[in-house]
Structure 1
Amino acid sequence: MSSEINGLSGYNSKASVQKSPESTTTNPTSSYPKSAGDSHTGQPAVETVTLTNTAAQLRETEASLAGISVVDNQKVERIKQSILEGSYQINSERIADKLIALEKDLSK
């Protein structure tokens, strides 16, 4: 039984780790039971998992973005303060323009 992923042979008699600039490939074979292997040879089947550098970069980016707030706390505090002082001005024309632009974007 043989499979091919990314040009790499999917059947190997030993566990191996191959590293290249573009990907990391791991072939764990020794831990599989014989029933999961090739019925002709009795050897365990090989499953290959490949993580590219792009996947690793995405994981790092996701971790760094998890700590960033999506709310501008300084702006929220300024608005709160201006509401408390009674100086907050509502620009209904700007709100209407933004709603119209949103509707146009949603209808595309």
Structure 2
Amino acid sequence: MSSEINGISGYSSVSAQKSPESVTTNPASSHPKSAGDSPTGQPAVETVTLTHTTTQLRETEASLAGISVVDNQKVEQIKQAILEGSYQIDSERIADKLIALEKSLSK
């Protein structure tokens, strides 16, 4: 059986709130007695507690989804400079960055 929690598959459907929330389930007593049953013969009660962290994670994920990893304005400036023939390659800077990268990888 598949359930969902805030759009995430495999969990019971529970809405996340800013304050902790507990959900208690008590399986129907028509289920046969199993090893998880209490000594009184009643099915065991399962409790799930969600904190406000769930909501914070979802909000952070949503805000990060809107951030571009590429600076489109800079890309356009470089394209324009290349088209105009005015783009200068700083080979010394590139070499320094490659050396720094090599050093960080060898640690």
TM class, shorter-chain normalised? 0.5 to 0.7
Unaligned runs of 5+ residues in structure 2 are: 1-16
Q: How many residues align?
A: 89
TM-score by length of 1: 0.64
Distance 1:63 1:31 in 2: 38
The question of whether the paired residues in 2 share the 8 Å contact of 1:32 and 1:45 is answered with no
Deviation at 1:98, TM superposition (A): 1.1
Please tell me the root mean square deviation across aligned C-alpha atoms, in Å. 2.7
Q: Which moved more, 1:47-56 or 1:59-68?
A: 47-56
User: Runs of 4 or more off by more than 4 Å in structure 1?
Assistant: 30-33
Deviation at 1:92, TM superposition (A): 0.9
Unaligned runs of 5+ residues in structure 1 are: 1-18
Query: What's 2:22 paired with?
Result: 25
The question of whether the paired residues in 1 share the 8 Å contact of 2:27 and 2:45 is answered with no
TM-score by length of 2: 0.65
Secondary structure of residue in 1 paired with 2:23: strand
Query: What is the aligned-residue identity percentage?
Result: 72
Query: What's 2:103 paired with?
Result: 104
